[in-house]
Amino acid sequence: MESALANSAVWGTLLTLSAYMAGLFMKNKSKMTVMNPLCIAIILVIAVLLVFHMDYEAYRSSSQYITCLLTPATVCLALPLYERLDLLKSKFNIVLGGILTGVLTCFAVVLALSGLFHLTHSMYVTLLLKSVTMAIGVAVVEQLGGYVPIAAAVIIVTGLLGNMFAESIFRICKIEDPVARGLALGTASHVIGTARAMELGQTEGAISSLAIVITGLVTVILVNAFAVLL
């Protein structure tokens, strides 16, 4: 089977789409927030690769068509941003302050935990980029001398956790303001969190989209200052 699939340029794409559709089906059936389609798809793909002893590099190569859509999909997040431009203008100072606070808090927590668990400098800088989009995080981690594969995994896990548990956290903490919800998801959980924000409402989605962009810029500007602290 592996030999036959190796000659196919699209089997990875078909596997990924099938796994995601299965995740959507399971979520719709269960009606549970924790049944995240992306998380389920990741588990299913890993299971298939392990059971059938398929080479990961072959899978990655044959799923490149989906990977190429990552950047255009991210750009499309500007649409809800444009639709609520009036709201963003009126609350820009609040949004900027919230994002800056979120980024600094993320850095401070990573620094504290890295020191507590005696992590190496490479691992420390890898974790610093956990709340930005994959394109920014992987590129910056490589420049800082971190571990790119671990960075990619940490970024995905961070987004998934925000997507699955943000609504429950909002409910427990009684956070009802749509701007605050959007800021939290976009700043902490990047694109995957923004997907959840769009499900919560148009305002949440717009603010979260803006938070992704500003969080990326602020992180790139400040990360070098924090990288030398450990």
Tell me, yes or no, whether 36 lies in a domain.
yes
Which CA distances in Å does 40 have to 21, 31, 53, 150, 197?
A: 10, 14, 20, 20, 19
Proportion of the chain above pLDDT 90, given as a percent: 24
Digit-coded pLDDT (tens) for 96-155: 888 899 999 999 999 999 999 999 999 999 999 999 988 888 889 989 999 988 998 899
Q: Find the DSSP H helices in the chain.
A: 2-6, 11-30, 37-51, 56-62, 64-67, 70-75, 78-83, 85-90, 92-116, 121-128, 134-144, 148-172, 178-200, 202-227
What distance in Å separates the CA atoms of residue 124 and residue 111, rounded to the nearest whole number? 7
Digit-coded pLDDT (tens) for 219-229: 989 999 999 88
Residues 43 and 89 placed together within one structural domain of the fold: no
Final residue of a domain: which of 18, 50, 68?
68
Residues 203 and 170 placed together within one structural domain of the fold: yes
Residues 108 and 207 placed together within one structural domain of the fold: yes
Residues 94 and 208 placed together within one structural domain of the fold: yes
Residues 219 and 178 placed together within one structural domain of the fold: yes
Digit-coded pLDDT (tens) for 59-72: 888 877 777 777 77
Residues 82 and 121 placed together within one structural domain of the fold: yes
Residues 26 and 107 placed together within one structural domain of the fold: no
In this prediction, residue 81 carries a pLDDT of 67
In this prediction, residue 200 carries a pLDDT of 87
Check: CB of residue 65 under 8 Å from CB of residue 15. no
Residues 38 and 91 placed together within one structural domain of the fold: no
Residues 194 and 90 placed together within one structural domain of the fold: yes
Final residue of a domain: which of 37, 68, 99?
68
More confident call, 186 vs 31: 186
Whether the pLDDT of residue 209 is over 80: the answer is yes
The number of domains in the chain is 2
In this prediction, residue 1 carries a pLDDT of 52
Closest to 162 (Cα-Cα) out of 30, 34, 11: 34
Final residue of a domain: which of 18, 33, 68?
68
Give the mean pLDDT of 83-99.
79
Tell me, yes or no, whether 73 lies in a domain.
no
**DSSP 8-state code for residue 33:** T
- Domain membership of residue 90 as a residue range: 78-227
| Secondary structure (DSSP) of 56-96 | HHHHHHHTHHHHTTHHHHHHTTHHHHHHTHHHHHHTHHHHH
